[in-house]
Amino acid sequence: MKRPRLIAAGLLYLVNWYNKRQATEQPETAPEQNTRPEPEQLDQAAGDLVDDILWDMPIEDAIVTTWTPPRSADPYLATIHATEEREGIPRDLLTRLLYQESRFRPDIITGQVKSSAGAEGIAQIVPRWHPGVDPLDPDQAIPYAGNYLAELHDQFGSWSMALAAYNWGPGNLRRQGFQHAPAETRAYVAQIMGDMGNFEGDIYV
């Protein structure tokens, strides 16, 4: 599925580029003869062009998720959505995080495959850092991961930084800042937020 926000941004860029080019190609005229459109007219033209693309889509739908959970997520969606609602997490953000962590693969969820860092299960929880939960039990791991993500949001003030802390660790993020995050963490945040949209002013990183 195409991302309407990216299409709109590209169209706005093309409109501005075209008008600048037209202005440079036209001979200079006296101020009273200048026929270049006013900035407001350019904004209106750009808006009309974007409206032509998004005519059948409410603007709020253009800034929310374009991502659909895979069929393999179906057995877990009731628990995930209940957790998201309880913890105040945007719809399917936790679903997308869990997909990033485990791809909802049975061999990962059951612990047959573990990460080199010792992370296990659907939420890729490291038992030594989170001893109070069984990472191989999705009914425990999903609510735990949702509560943890919500706590990270409270600590860092945005969902993008909560994702960074989930992947890199809150201590690392707090001490070093996101500007020093490893490439893996940057990609983690960018991929999830790029699919999920813009929450509470979060930016794509």
In this structure, the chain runs to a length of 205
Q: Give the C-alpha separation, 60 to 5, whole Å.
A: 11
| Identity of the amino acid at 188 | Y
C-alpha angle with apex 202: 198 to 205, nearest 5 degrees? 95
Decide: residue 43, CB within 10 A, 0-12 exposed, 13-18 middle, 19+ buried.
Answer: middle
The radius of gyration of the chain's CA atoms, rounded to the nearest angstrom, is 23
First to last CA, the chain: 21
Decide: residue 83, CB within 10 A, 0-12 exposed, 13-18 middle, 19+ buried.
Answer: buried
Query: Catalytic residue among 32, 101, 120, 184, which?
Result: 101
C-beta of residue 140 within 8 angstroms of C-beta of residue 134: yes
CA neighbor of 96 nearest in space, from 118, 66, 59, 57: 66
- Active-site annotation holds for 32: no
Q: Give the C-alpha separation, 123 to 139, whole Å.
A: 11
**Active-site residue list:** 101
